[in-house]
């Protein structure tokens, strides 16, 4: 298995997609709604289609889990709590535009996120923001980089000296809003230095990896939003946890907390002060029962 070959290929895919996204960002967009507020544009679909066909051409035996073309598992097959068809085989996990809402509004935090996973764990990750021309790359055991320079998480050890980021996703129910605001209130009342919301989970995870923020959390997230960013944080010396209970993060669990180690425990305590609604509390189990 050649990590460098996979990484170079993913970088090539991300840079090519970046050219299209940068050009399309300033043009009128063709928008469809996947839900009340969740959008997809023709650029998401075109970029994803191109990436998928290039992966199929180069690695025909590999699987692909991509935002705009995944098939949700049905309730009957959904025995592990996972909504995705995702197994231990080499699988490319792709978000053609993470931060679609930002893209539609011309707001600068948009990126292409590509990871190759084996045993459902990322072994290479690429996150490219074509607007800022920031390319984050990581390989398992090989470190994390921003535009070729090695990056590390911040050395901060207190929430009072931390910028914590979260995104507000697509849940617009009263229960969902109470939960999100409850977490924000808990952080504010415990003197977090500041709170940010970039609107792209992949970008937000990379900001933690680069030590620009101390942590990112979100409930209601998908594997393609986080697969590459998770590896970025792990390789930059950070920790990735399931914020439900602080256990090991699974890409499919729909929850994420990535942090510098010095603030992870404190953040877990603060987030746990807000009761987790049932819809975010599905216990995810792997196929082997673990």
Known catalytic residues are 67, 95, 97-98, 100, 225
Residue 100 within binding range of ligand IPD, rule CB under 6 A: yes
In which order are the strands placed within the sheet that holds 134-139? 63-66, 91-98, 111-118, 121-129, 134-139, 143-146, 149-150
Q: Which CB sits closer to ligand IPD, 111 or 210?
A: 111
Q: Which helix (H) or strand (E) holds 267?
A: helix 261-271
User: Total residues at the site for ligand IPD (CB under 6 A)?
Assistant: 15
Shortest Cβ distance from residue 59 to ligand IPD (Å)? Answer: 23
Q: Answer whether 257's CB lies under 8 Å from 264's CB.
A: yes
Mask: binding to ligand IPD, 158-197, rule CB under 6 A, as x and -? ---------x-x----------------------------
Residue 95 within binding range of ligand IPD, rule CB under 6 A: yes
| Sequential DSSP letters for 64-103 | EEEGGG--PPPTTT--SS--S---SS-EEEEEEEE-HHHH
Shortest Cβ distance from residue 31 to ligand IPD (Å)? Answer: 12
Shortest Cβ distance from residue 93 to ligand IPD (Å)? Answer: 12
In which order are the strands placed within the sheet that holds 255-259? 194-196, 163-166, 215-219, 255-259, 239-242, 247-248
For ligand IPD, the binding residue among 51, 93, 138, 218 (CB under 6 A) is 218
Q: Which CB sits closer to ligand IPD, 167 or 253?
A: 167
Phi, psi of 257, deg, nearest 5: -135, 120
Q: Point out the residue whose Cβ comes nearest to ligand IPD.
A: 167
Residue 266 within binding range of ligand IPD, rule CB under 6 A: no
Pairing of strands 239-242, 255-259: antiparallel
Give the residue among 122, 144, 148 at the shortest CA–CA distance from 211: 144
Residue 199 within binding range of ligand IPD, rule CB under 6 A: yes
For ligand IPD, the binding residue among 9, 10, 92, 99 (CB under 6 A) is 99
Residue 124 to residue 195: CA distance in whole angstroms: 29
Q: Which CB sits closer to ligand IPD, 41 or 80?
A: 41
Q: Which CB sits closer to ligand IPD, 228 or 266?
A: 228
Residue 60 to residue 43: CA distance in whole angstroms: 24
Residue 159 to residue 201: CA distance in whole angstroms: 20
Residue 221 within binding range of ligand IPD, rule CB under 6 A: yes
235 in a known ligand binding site: no
Residue 130 within binding range of ligand IPD, rule CB under 6 A: no
Q: Which CB sits closer to ligand IPD, 95 or 214?
A: 95
85 in a known ligand binding site: no
Residues near ligand IPD, by CB under 6 A: 67, 95, 98-100, 167, 169, 199-201, 218, 220-222, 225
């Amino acid at each position: 298995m050649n990590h460098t070959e996979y990484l170079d290929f993913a970088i090539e895919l991300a840079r090519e997609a970046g050219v299209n996204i940068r050009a399309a960002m300033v043009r009128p967009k063709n928008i469809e709604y996947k839900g009340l507020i969740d959008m997809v544009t023709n650029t998401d679909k075109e970029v994803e289609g191109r990436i998928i066909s290039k992966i199929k051409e180069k690695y025909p035996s590999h699987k692909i889990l991509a935002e705009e073309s995944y098939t949700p598992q049905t309730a009957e097959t959904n025995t592990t709590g996972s909504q995705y068809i995702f197994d231990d085989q080499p699988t490319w996990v792709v978000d053609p535009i993470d931060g679609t809402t930002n893209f539609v509004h011309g707001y600068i935090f948009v990126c292409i996120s590509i990871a190759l996973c084996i045993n459902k764990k990322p072994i290479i990750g690429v996150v490219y923001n074509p607007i800022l021309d920031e390319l984050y790359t990581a390989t398992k055991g090989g470190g994390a980089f921003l535009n070729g320079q090695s990056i590390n998480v911040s050395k901060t050890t207190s929430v009072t000296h931390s910028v914590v980021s979260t995104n507000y996703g697509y849940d617009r129910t009263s229960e969902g809003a109470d939960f999100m605001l409850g977490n924000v209130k808990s952080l504010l009342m415990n003197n977090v230095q500041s709170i940010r919301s970039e609107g792209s989970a992949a970008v937000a995870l990379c900001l933690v990896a680069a030590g620009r923020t101390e942590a990112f959390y979100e409930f209601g997230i998908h594997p393609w939003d986080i697969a590459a960013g998770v590896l970025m944080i792990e390789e930059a010396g950070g920790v990735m946890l399931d914020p439900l209970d602080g256990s090991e993060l699974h890409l499919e669990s729909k929850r994420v907390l990535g942090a510098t180690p010095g603030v992870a425990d404190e953040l877990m305590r603060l987030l746990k002060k807000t009761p987790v609604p049932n819809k975010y509390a599905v216990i995810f189990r792997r196929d082997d029962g673990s």
